[in-house]
Amino acid sequence: MNAPEMAISVRGLTKVFGDRKVVDDFDMEVPKGAIYGFLGPNGSGKTTTIRMMCGLLTPNGGQGQCLGYDILTESRRIKEHVGYMTQKFSLYEDLTIRENLDFIGRMYRMKDRRKKVDQALLDLGLADRAKQLAGTLSGGWKQRLALAACMLHSPQLLLLDEPTAGVDPKARRDFWDEIRRLSARGVTVLVSTHYMDEAVQCDALAYIAYGKKLISGPAAEIPKMIGLSTWRVDGPDINALEAELRTTPGVGQVARFGAVLHVSGTDAAALDRAVSAQKKRETHNWKRKEAGLEEAFIYLMAGASDNFTEFAGKA
């Protein structure tokens, strides 16, 4: 029996499409009430993993529980208590906003359906457009409607697949406020995202690349776990400097943020040597910096491409 405070606990999840292992021996533990971020480059297997967790795909290997129910045999029970927001818009474009929400409400056999739908429409600010066809909404509004739809039945676990893609900053902020409120009430949230500003809002993160989990842990600790040291540099003619640094030994990666470069490497001593050589020229301002998530993920993605060539060679 699993520790009861785990909302998701899966081990060794594997999914094969054709002869490609799309998810490979994936483990994940998400405590109840946590906000758990799920990151990884395009095509790394995030959507596939989430689908296996709520019973939409049958794993080729592995096992686990969601909300205490077995993902292999009790997906029906899981579906009752999970709100899943698909990556692709999956409400009916030829139904109105209200009809869509109402339909979802009926699927969960909600008793106070009408009240909940009205409330959701008010919260969304779509009450006066309730009769509009969902297909005629703008991309961001579709996203917000889909989110409201998957929360309608007050699920204990939310599986959100890139819920804020294409959503404006204000709405994203509102969305994260709502997520934190739900989390405080004990709702568990697993959210996949490509945004760093969203990743830092999570209690914990998992990073997946080419089907394999590379790292997971509390958001703040991930850069330390990787062991990156980072320098921040700005000054004149930053383009030339960037090009030069990219070929300098000891420099693992250079990331550009506007007029600023973040220069990192895993070998701190080698990086420091390279930086001291630069500092002597006194052309730029160098400052040591704590490695952030951004650097960490850029580092992971660079590693993943090695992972990919290996992968591609096998396929």
Partner 1 sequence: MFSLARFGAVLFKEFVQMRRDRVTFGMMIGIPIMQLLLFGFAINSDPKNLPTLVEMADTGPVTRAVLKGMETSDYFKFVGTVTSKQESDRALREGSASFVVVIPANFERDAARGLRPDILLSADASDPAAASGAVSAMTGIVQVAINETLTGPLQFAARAPPPFSVSIHRQYNPEGKTATNIVPGLLAIILSMTMVMITAVAIVRETEKGTMEALIATPVRPMEVMLGKIIPYVFVGYVQTFVFLVAARFLFDVPFTGSFLAFFVGFNLYIVVNLALGFLISTLSKSQMQAMQISFFTLLPTILLSGFMFPFAGMPGWAQAIGSAIPATHFLRLTRKVMLKAGSLPDITGDMSAIAFIMFVIVAVALMRYRQTLD
Ligand X SMILES: Nc1ncnc2c1ncn2[C@@H]1O[C@H](COP(=O)(O)OP(=O)(O)OP(=O)(O)O)[C@@H](O)[C@H]1O
Does 22 engage in binding with ligand X (CB under 6 A)? yes
CA–CA dist 211, 143 (Å, integer): 26
Residue type present at position 134: A
What would the x/- binding string for Mg ion be over residues 240 to 279, using CB under 5 A?
A: ----------------------------------------
CA–CA dist 164, 192 (Å, integer): 9
CA–CA dist 75, 61 (Å, integer): 16
Q: How far apart are the first and last CA of the chain?
A: 38
Closer residue to Mg ion in complex, CB, 126/158:
158
- Tell me, what DSSP letter sits at residue 228? -
CA–CA dist 25, 93 (Å, integer): 37
Does 108 engage in binding with partner 1 (CB under 8 A)? yes
Q: C-beta of 172: minimal distance to ligand X in Å?
A: 17
Q: Any idea which residue has 């899943």 for tokens?
A: 84
CA–CA dist 51, 84 (Å, integer): 9
Cβ–Cβ < 8 Å for 146, 90: yes
Q: Judged by CB under 6 A, which of 2, 5, 12, 17 binds ligand X?
A: 17
111 makes contact, choosing from partner 1, ligand X, Mg ion, none, with CB < 5 to 8 Å by partner type, with none
Q: C-beta of 40: minimal distance to ligand X in Å?
A: 5
Does 166 engage in binding with Mg ion (CB under 5 A)? no
Does 274 engage in binding with partner 1 (CB under 8 A)? no
Q: Judged by CB under 5 A, which of 10, 36, 39, 47 binds Mg ion?
A: 47
Does the CA dihedral 55-56-57-58 come out positive or negative? positive
22 makes contact, choosing from Mg ion, ligand X, partner 1, none, with CB < 5 to 8 Å by partner type, with ligand X
Does 142 engage in binding with partner 1 (CB under 8 A)? no
92 makes contact, choosing from Mg ion, partner 1, ligand X, none, with CB < 5 to 8 Å by partner type, with partner 1
Q: C-beta of 260: minimal distance to partner 1 in Å?
A: 40
Q: 288 vs 35, 97, 140, 263, 264, CA distance in Å?
A: 31, 52, 39, 10, 10
Does 307 engage in binding with Mg ion (CB under 5 A)? no
Residue type present at position 120: A
CA–CA dist 5, 225 (Å, integer): 25
Stretch in the footprint of ligand X (CB under 6 A) among 36-44, 105-113, 152-160, 272-280: 36-44
| C-alpha 230: how far from chain center | 24
Closest CA to 187 of 14, 31, 16, 22: 31
Residues in the interface with ligand X (CB under 6 A) total 11
Does 246 engage in binding with partner 1 (CB under 8 A)? no
54 makes contact, choosing from ligand X, Mg ion, partner 1, none, with CB < 5 to 8 Å by partner type, with partner 1
Q: C-beta of 189: minimal distance to Mg ion in Å?
A: 17
Q: Which residues bind ligand X (CB under 6 A)?
A: 17, 22, 40, 42-48, 87
What does the binding site for partner 1 look like in residue numbers (CB under 8 A)? 51, 54-58, 76, 79-80, 82, 84, 86, 88-95, 99, 103-104, 106-109, 133, 146, 149
